[in-house]
Amino acid sequence: MSRLVAHLSRRYHFSASHRLHVDTLSPEQNREIFGKCNNPFGHGHNYVVEVTLSGPVDTATGMVANLGDLDSFAQREVLDLFDHTNLNTLDSFLDCVTTTENLCVEMWRIFSGFAEAGAYPQVKLERIHIEETGKNSFDYFGEGAPFRR
Amino acid sequence: MSRLVAHLSRRYHFSASHRLHVDTLSPEQNREIFGKCNNPFGHGHNYVVEVTLSGPVDTATGMVANLGDLDSFAQREVLDLFDHTNLNTLDSFLDCVTTTENLCVEMWRIFSGFAEAGAYPQVKLERIHIEETGKNSFDYFGEGAPFRR
Amino acid sequence: MSRLVAHLSRRYHFSASHRLHVDTLSPEQNREIFGKCNNPFGHGHNYVVEVTLSGPVDTATGMVANLGDLDSFAQREVLDLFDHTNLNTLDSFLDCVTTTENLCVEMWRIFSGFAEAGAYPQVKLERIHIEETGKNSFDYFGEGAPFRR
Amino acid sequence: MSRLVAHLSRRYHFSASHRLHVDTLSPEQNREIFGKCNNPFGHGHNYVVEVTLSGPVDTATGMVANLGDLDSFAQREVLDLFDHTNLNTLDSFLDCVTTTENLCVEMWRIFSGFAEAGAYPQVKLERIHIEETGKNSFDYFGEGAPFRR
Amino acid sequence: MSRLVAHLSRRYHFSASHRLHVDTLSPEQNREIFGKCNNPFGHGHNYVVEVTLSGPVDTATGMVANLGDLDSFAQREVLDLFDHTNLNTLDSFLDCVTTTENLCVEMWRIFSGFAEAGAYPQVKLERIHIEETGKNSFDYFGEGAPFRR
Amino acid sequence: MSRLVAHLSRRYHFSASHRLHVDTLSPEQNREIFGKCNNPFGHGHNYVVEVTLSGPVDTATGMVANLGDLDSFAQREVLDLFDHTNLNTLDSFLDCVTTTENLCVEMWRIFSGFAEAGAYPQVKLERIHIEETGKNSFDYFGEGAPFRR
C-alpha cells in the first residue's frame, strides 16, 4: 500500500416518483410546507447519485477500488431497488419523508456497507451527492449518522 | 419583414411522474410491453421540452418572436399544468398512454396555438423535442397531426 | 471522392456583451420591445457558435474537411473579432440590432467564405447554431441570405 | 431537530457584462494585467451562482431549508439586481474590480443574510461557487470575510 | 397504427483509442494530413453515439419502438465490439481510416439492421450522430450508403 | 494583499489512450484485475483535468492569480505532453500503471510547480480533479505526496 490517498467518485442514475407528505400534519399544513411537491398523485425526477470513496492508492494496481466491484454493489443494493419506483412505497421511507436530504442519508447507510461487502478495509465513504434536478443538489458527509463509514 | 428566416428554440423543464399502462391489456401483457415502466406505483422524470419556431427576422427588431411572449404562453399552457404532476391524471392522457412520443404530440398540439395566441401570423411551429433522461429523447415534427401549425 | 456525404459540426465559444436597442424608436418603445435586454449599460453572454458543414467523405483521408483548417479560419475570422467585445461596437452591427438571430446571419456570412478560403470546393455550409444561454438557441440555414454557401 | 446535518446547493443563473479595470492604474498597466478583459466597451458572461447551505435535517419535514424561501430571497436580493446588468455600474463594485473572485465575496455577503431573513437560525452558509464560463469557476468559503455566516 | 410519426433518439457511450494513418502515404504526408492524430501510439476518446429512428406511433402502446429491444441490439452489435478497444484493430476499419466520419458510416451500416432484427418493419433509421469530443460531432443521414435503411 | 482567500478552478481537456497492465503479473491476473481495461491494444478517453488553486484576493487586481499565466503553464507542462498521446509511452508512467488515480498524482506533481513558476508565492495547490468519463472522476488533495504544494 502506498501512502498516497485518492478519492474516486462514481455516478448512478435512477428515475423515480415521490410525494412529500407527513401523515401527522393536516392537508393545509402539508400544502403550506411542501407546496406543489405535496400534489397527491406525486411527481418525479431523474436522480443522479454520486458516491465518493477515499483510500490508499494500491502500489501494484494503481487503484483505490475496483469500479466493477462498486458497480455490482450499486446495481444490487441501489438500482434494483430504487430505479423506476415510487420512493414513498419503499421500506426506506416508512418512517420519513422522501426528501432528497433523507434519500442522501439512506444512500449513505447503503454505501457504508461497501467496504465490508467488497474486501476494501481501508476504503472510506466520504460523500453522497444527489442531484434532484439540474438546479438543486444535496450532499451528506455522514454527520450525525448512526452507522459507521 | 426581411426575407431572412431563422429558427429559435427555447427549453422548458418540468418534473412529473407517470406509469405506462394500457387498461385493455392484461397485467402480463402490460409487463411484457412496458417492463419496469409498468410498475403500478409509477416512477418519474425531469422532462426537458424544447420548442422550435421559425419565422422571418423582423427588420426593425431583429427578432423572430419575443421570448417573453413565448415564456408567458409556456408558463400558462404547459408548466402550470404539467409541472409536479402525475401525467396519468391529466386530461391530455385520458385516451392514450403517457409515453414521451404521445407527450410530444400533446406539446405540439399546445404550442401550435402560440402563433395565434401571440400576434405572430408568420411564425411556424417546427419541432417539439423532449428529453426524458440524458440517454433518450424524442422529436415530433407534426407528421400526421390533426392540427395546423 | 466517395459518394458518401457526411456532416461535421464544430463548436466555438466567445464571451461578449450587448444591448438591444433601436435608435429610431423612443426609449419607451425600446423598453417595451426589448425589456431588460434594453438596459442602457448592456449585459452579456457566453455564446456558443456551432457551425455545420457537409461534404463528400474523402476516400483516402476519410474526412470531410480538416478541423485544423476550420479552427484557423474561425480563430481569424470570428474569435479574434468577437471574443471579449461589446457586439454593439462591431462593424457587423452598424445597421442592425445585436439579437442572436442577426448574429446567426452574420456568422453564416462569415463561414460561407470557408469553402473558398480553404480548398474545399465541395464543402457546403449547412447550419449556424448559436446558444445564447442554456435555455435558448437559434439556428440559421441560409434561408433568404444574400450570400452563397 | 435531528442530529443529521446535510448540505443543500441551489444554482441561479444571470447574464451580465463587465470590464476589468482599475482607475488608479495607467491604460498600459490595465491592459497588461487584465488583457482582453480590459476592453473599454466590456464583454459579458452567463454567470452560474451555486449557493451551498448546511443545517440539521428537520425530523418532521425532512428538509434543511425550504427551497421556496431560498428562491424568493435569491430573486429579491440577487437576480433582480444582477441579471441583465453591467456589473461595473452596481453599488457592489464601487470600490473593487468586477472579477469573479470579488463577485463571490459579494454573493457571500448577500447570502449570509439568508439565515436571518428566513427563520433558519441553524442554517449555515457553506460555500459560494460561481462558474464564469464552462472552463473556469471560483469558490469562496468565507475565509477572511468581515460578515458572519 | 396511427398516422402520427415520431422520432426517437438513444445515446450510447464507448471509450476507444485510434490512430489516423494511411499506409499508402509517406510518414510526412500522414503527419501533414492528420497532425497529432497521426501519433504512432494512438490516442483516444469517449465516443457518444446517438441513433435516431422514426416510425408511426403505435396506437395501443404509444411507442415507435421498444427501447429495450434497441438497447439489446446496441449492446450486442456495437458496445460489445467497440467499447474499450483500439478502433484500428477492428474488421470494420481494415480498409478505411478510423475517422469519425467513417465511424458514422459503419454505425449506419450496423443500425440499418435493427428494423429487421427487431420486428419493426415500419421503423426507419434517420440519423447517426457521433460526438468525438465536446467540441466536435459528426452526422450521417445515409447519403450515398450502399445499404438500405 | 487582502485577508480574503478564494479558490479558482480551471478545466483542461486532452484526449489520450492507455492500457491498464502490470508487467510483473500474469496475463490471467491482469485480466482479472483490470478486465476490459487490459485489452492489449488499449482504449482511450477524453480526459478533463480541473486544477484548483487558493490564495489571497489581491486588493488591487481582485484576482487570486492570472488565468493567462495558468493557461500558459498548463499548455507547456501538461497539454503539449499529454494531448493526443498514449499514456503508457510517457515517462510519467514508466514505473506505474496508467490509472486515473496515478494520473491525478502526476498532475499534482506538475501543478505543484506553478506557484514557483509564476510569481505566486501565496498561491496553494488545493485539488486535482480528473473526469475520465461522464460517470467516474477522481480527486487528489496531495495526501501522502512527496512534493510540496
pLDDT given for residue B23 in this prediction: 92
Q: How many whole angstroms separate alpha carbon A91 and alpha carbon A93?
A: 5
With contacts defined as CB-CB under 8 Å, which chain E residues touch F86? 17, 39, 41-43
pLDDT given for residue D117 in this prediction: 76
Q: Which residues contact F38 (CB under 8 A, 6 or more apart)?
A: F19, F20, F21, F30, F31
pLDDT given for residue B137 in this prediction: 98
Decide: residue E61, CB within 10 A, 0-12 exposed, 13-18 middle, 19+ buried: buried
Determine, yes or no, domain membership for F72. Answer: no
Give B57→chain C minimum CA distance, Å. 7
The three grid cell numbers given for residue C9, joined into one nine-digit string: 459540426
- Residue range E115-123: average pLDDT? 83
Q: Is the pLDDT of residue D148 over 60?
A: no
Sign of CA dihedral F130, F136, F140, F141: positive
In contact, D66 and A33? CB cutoff 8 Å: yes
CATH of the domain at E31: 3.30.479.10
- Residue range E128-135: average pLDDT? 97
Determine, yes or no, domain membership for B123. Answer: yes
Q: Scanning every residue of chain D, which has its alpha carbon at the shortest distance from the alpha carbon of A131? A: D9
Q: CA distances (Å), F139 to each of A29, A118, F51, F107, F126, in order?
A: 43, 21, 10, 11, 10
**Helices (DSSP H) in chain B: which residue ranges?**
27-34, 67-74, 80-82, 100-111, 114-117
pLDDT given for residue E67 in this prediction: 94
pLDDT given for residue B55 in this prediction: 97
Determine, yes or no, domain membership for C104. Answer: yes
The domain of F21 spans: 5-53+84-140
Residue among C101, C108, C112 with most chain B CBs within 10 A, to mutate: C101
Q: How many whole angstroms separate alpha carbon F37 and alpha carbon B149?
A: 51
pLDDT given for residue B67 in this prediction: 94
- Give residue for cell 446495481: A75
Instruction: Tell me the β-bridge partners of E56.
Output: E5
Q: How many whole angstroms separate alpha carbon F42 and alpha carbon F39?
A: 5
With contacts defined as CB-CB under 8 Å, which chain D residues touch C39? 84-86
pLDDT given for residue B145 in this prediction: 83
The verdict on a CB contact (< 8 Å) between F134 and A2 is no
The chains in contact with chain C, meaning 3 or more Cβ pairs closer than 8 Å, are B, D, E
Q: Which residues of F lie inside 8 Å of D (Cβ-Cβ)?
A: 2-11, 52, 56-57, 60-64, 66-68
Q: Scanning every residue of chain C, which has its alpha carbon at the shortest distance from the alpha carbon of E137? A: C9
Q: How many whole angstroms separate alpha carbon C27 and alpha carbon B60?
A: 15
Using CB atoms, which residue from D96, D135, D140 is nearest to F62? D96
The verdict on a CB contact (< 8 Å) between E97 and C62 is yes
Using CB atoms, which residue from D101, D137, D139 is nearest to F62? D101
Give F80→chain A minimum CA distance, Å. 24
Sign of CA dihedral D74, D76, D77, D79: positive
The verdict on a CB contact (< 8 Å) between F33 and A64 is no
DSSP E strands, D19-123: 43-56, 85-86
Determine, yes or no, domain membership for D59. Answer: no
* Backbone conformation region of residue A144, classed left if phi is above 0, alpha if psi is from -120 to 50, else beta: left
Determine, yes or no, domain membership for C112. Answer: yes
pLDDT tens column, A85-134: 999 999 999 999 999 999 999 999 999 999 877 679 999 999 999 999 99
Q: Is the pLDDT of residue A58 over 70?
A: yes
Count of the separate structural domains present in chain E: 1
pLDDT given for residue C22 in this prediction: 95
pLDDT given for residue C118 in this prediction: 67
Q: How many whole angstroms separate alpha carbon D128 and alpha carbon D104?
A: 6
Instruction: Determine the longest span between alpha carbons in chain E, in angstroms.
Output: 61
Confidence of residue D25 (pLDDT cuts 50, 70, 90): very high
Give C83→chain B minimum CA distance, Å. 21
Q: How many whole angstroms separate alpha carbon C124 and alpha carbon C145?
A: 14
Question: SS3 for A131?
Answer: strand
Segments of chain C with pLDDT less than 70: 1-2, 118, 147-149
Residue among D32, D88, D101 with most chain F CBs within 10 A, to mutate: D101
With contacts defined as CB-CB under 8 Å, which chain B residues touch E10? 135-136
pLDDT tens column, D39-59: 999 999 999 999 999 999 999
Q: Is the pLDDT of residue E73 over 60?
A: yes
Q: Scanning every residue of chain A, which has its alpha carbon at the shortest distance from the alpha carbon of D10? A: A136
B104 is catalytic: no
Q: Identify residue A57 by its one-letter amino acid code.
A: V
Using CB atoms, which residue from F35, F138, F144 is nearest to A7? F138
Determine, yes or no, domain membership for B72. Answer: no
Percent of chain C at pLDDT > 90 equals: 91
Q: How many whole angstroms separate alpha carbon F22 and alpha carbon F40?
A: 12
Task: Name the DSSP class of A22.
Answer: -
Determine, yes or no, domain membership for B95. Answer: yes
The verdict on a CB contact (< 8 Å) between F6 and D105 is yes
Q: Is the pLDDT of residue E148 over 80?
A: no
**F36-74: string of b/e by CB count within 10 Å (b at 16+)?**
ebbbebbbbbbbbbbbbbbbbbbeebbbbbbbeebeebb
Q: Which residues of E lie inside 8 Å of F (Cβ-Cβ)?
A: 13, 15-18, 36-37, 39, 41-46, 83-86, 88-89, 133-134
Instruction: Determine the longest span between alpha carbons in chain D, in angstroms.
Output: 61
Determine, yes or no, domain membership for F133. Answer: yes
pLDDT given for residue C100 in this prediction: 98
Confidence of residue D149 (pLDDT cuts 50, 70, 90): low
pLDDT given for residue F96 in this prediction: 94
pLDDT given for residue A145 in this prediction: 83
* Backbone conformation region of residue E144, classed left if phi is above 0, alpha if psi is from -120 to 50, else beta: left
- Residue range F75-100: average pLDDT? 97
With contacts defined as CB-CB under 8 Å, which chain A residues touch F97? 60-63
The verdict on a CB contact (< 8 Å) between F8 and D105 is no
pLDDT in tens, chain B (149 residues): 569 999 999 999 999 999 999 999 999 999 999 999 999 999 999 999 999 999 999 999 999 999 999 999 999 999 999 999 999 999 999 999 999 999 999 999 999 999 877 679 999 999 999 999 999 999 999 999 876 55
Q: Identify residue D56 by its one-letter amino acid code.
A: P
Give A41→chain B minimum CA distance, Å. 6
The verdict on a CB contact (< 8 Å) between D44 and C15 is yes
- Residue range D12-22: average pLDDT? 97
- Catalytic residue (choose from F7, F43, F84, F96): F84
Question: SS3 for B85?
Answer: strand
In contact, F50 and D139? CB cutoff 8 Å: no
Q: Is the pLDDT of residue D63 over 80?
A: yes
pTM comes to 0.96
With contacts defined as CB-CB under 8 Å, which chain F residues touch E86? 17, 39, 41-43
Give B57→chain E minimum CA distance, Å. 28
pLDDT tens column, E57-70: 999 999 999 999 99
Q: Which positions of D are catalytic?
A: 37, 84, 132
ipTM: 0.93
The verdict on a CB contact (< 8 Å) between F63 and D99 is yes
Q: How many whole angstroms separate alpha carbon F29 and alpha carbon F37?
A: 13
Give the 3-state secondary structure of E53-71.
EEEECCCCCCCCCCHHHHH
The chains in contact with chain A, meaning 3 or more Cβ pairs closer than 8 Å, are B, D, F
pLDDT given for residue E43 in this prediction: 97
- Residue range D88-113: average pLDDT? 96
pLDDT given for residue D145 in this prediction: 83
Q: Which residue has the higher pLDDT, D65 or C147?
A: D65
Q: How many whole angstroms separate alpha carbon D111 and alpha carbon E91?
A: 59
The three grid cell numbers given for residue C12, joined into one nine-digit string: 466555438
Using CB atoms, which residue from C4, C10, C61 is nearest to E144? C4
The verdict on a CB contact (< 8 Å) between E139 and C9 is yes
pLDDT given for residue D113 in this prediction: 94
pLDDT tens column, A29-49: 999 999 999 999 999 999 999
Confidence of residue A76 (pLDDT cuts 50, 70, 90): very high
Give F17→chain E minimum CA distance, Å. 4
In contact, E92 and B136? CB cutoff 8 Å: no
